[in-house]
Structure 1
Amino acid sequence: MYAVIRTGGKQYRVKEGDHLKVEKLDYEEGDSISFDEVLAVSDDEDFKVGKPVLESAEVKAEVLEHGKNKKVEVFKFKAKKRYKKKTGHRQPFTRIKIDEIVGE
């Protein structure tokens, strides 16, 4: 059984037991969370798609940790003008574990 959820402006295909990194969520480590924006649910014989979400479906997960991704370096320069600028960015994330998919 798997589901397609939406969080942080992105869509993820998840199944029970998966560990994944999502955009930073405002929960403490060890908290249980529930994703209500379930776009699709599939079990062995049936596939249900919401318009745009399934009302009675939800995905329950546990927050494992918070952290930052690897640094993305941004380098700007203009040829023949002696202009160069180097900056970087580390995007925060939350690692979650999918505990249960409750379908319709």
Structure 2
Amino acid sequence: MYAVLKTGGKQYRVEKEDVVLVEKLDANDGDQVVLNDILMIGEGKKVTLGSPLVNDAAVMAQVIRQTRGPKITMIYKRRRKNSRRKQGHKQNLTLLKIIDIAETGGSKLSPKKATAKSTETKAKVTAKSTETKAKATAKSTETKAKVTAKSTETKAKVTAKSTETKAKASPKTKSSTTKDK
């Protein structure tokens, strides 16, 4: 069984288990959506045409992910006017997997929202990562403190040695090469 549906100003011929890239729909990843604008349904030689839509028909689809299309670059140039403009655009798209095609009873289909398990696991992962970051920063501060303590000790030793060598060296008096009269 196949259906021709309209969404985002375009028409798509879909079958069950097809994956379709359509204009952006307002849904999250994993949500189910019901598409009610069905123009035609067919199975073998039996074809049902709508005028303009088939009554009580619907297509159930699941959102795989929200994505963006390829970059399109537009260049505007006015010749002999020293005028140019370059503009880029990426279209927002939704990747859908067709779950079911209902020839009748489409108004009774109810979409399901994505399960909240993904948010719980994300919260657990972020909690674990913050704990490990805290441990790492604590370890790094401890090592930094040890390094700074050692560096101050060595600096004190060096300065003490330099003062000792200066004290040991007696001040030399300069003797003049010329005879004083």
What corresponds to 2:148 in structure 1? none
Deviation at 1:90, TM superposition (A): 0.5
User: Unaligned 5+ residue runs, structure 2?
Assistant: 105-181
Structure 1 residue ranges, 4+ long, deviating more than 2 angstroms after superposition: none
State the TM-score, normalized to the length of structure 2: 0.56
The 2-side partners of 1:81 and 1:14 are apart by 49
Bigger helix share:
2
Deviation at 1:82, TM superposition (A): 1.2
Deviation at 1:48, TM superposition (A): 0.3
What corresponds to 1:67 in structure 2? 67
| Corresponding position: 1:21 with 2:16 | no
Deviation at 1:44, TM superposition (A): 2.0
What corresponds to 1:79 in structure 2? 79
Q: CA RMSD in A?
A: 0.9
Deviation at 1:79, TM superposition (A): 1.3
Deviation at 1:80, TM superposition (A): 1.6
Secondary structure of 2:13's counterpart equals strand
Q: Which has the larger radius of gyration?
A: 2
What corresponds to 1:34 in structure 2? 34
Deviation at 1:67, TM superposition (A): 1.1
Q: Percentage identity across aligned positions?
A: 36
Query: What CA deviation, in whole Å up to 9, does each residue of 1:4-38 have, x standing for no partner?
Result: 00111111110011111111000011001111111
Secondary structure of 1:5's counterpart equals strand
What corresponds to 2:89 in structure 1? 89
Query: What CA deviation, in whole Å up to 9, does each residue of 1:49-90 have, x standing for no partner?
Result: 011111121111000001111111010111122111111111
Q: Which has the higher contact order (CA 8 A, sep 6+)?
A: 1
What corresponds to 1:47 in structure 2? 47
What corresponds to 1:6 in structure 2? 6
> Counterpart amino acid of 1:80?
R
